[in-house]
Amino acid sequence: MWSLEIIRVDNGYILTAPDHDGSGMAEWVIEDGEDTAGLVNLTSGENLLWEVMEYFGLGGSKHDSERIRIVREKNE
């Protein structure tokens, strides 16, 4: 069984998951940071989504006929 716990904290996200070998727990942090537009949560939110996709193997390959993408769109 695979599981991933995500906790939102003041300055980002804490992710906790079982080690792949089952010997314990791994924990990593995604910190908020200002991106070029001064939008704090977009960068960390995007990084969080990439981490979730990578952890569960949902990213796919550039050679796949279909794959999930995370795209930011500017409001014009």
pLDDT tens by residue, the chain, 76 residues: 788 999 999 889 999 999 877 789 999 999 987 666 666 678 888 899 999 999 888 888 888 888 888 888 878 7
| pTM > 0.75: yes or no | yes
Spatial contact of 27 and 15, defined as CB atoms under 8 Å apart? yes
Per the structure block, which two tokens stand in for 17?
């998951």
Question: What residue numbers bound the domain in which 48 lies?
Answer: 1-76
Number of domains observed in the structure of the chain: 1
Give me the amino acid identity at 70.
I
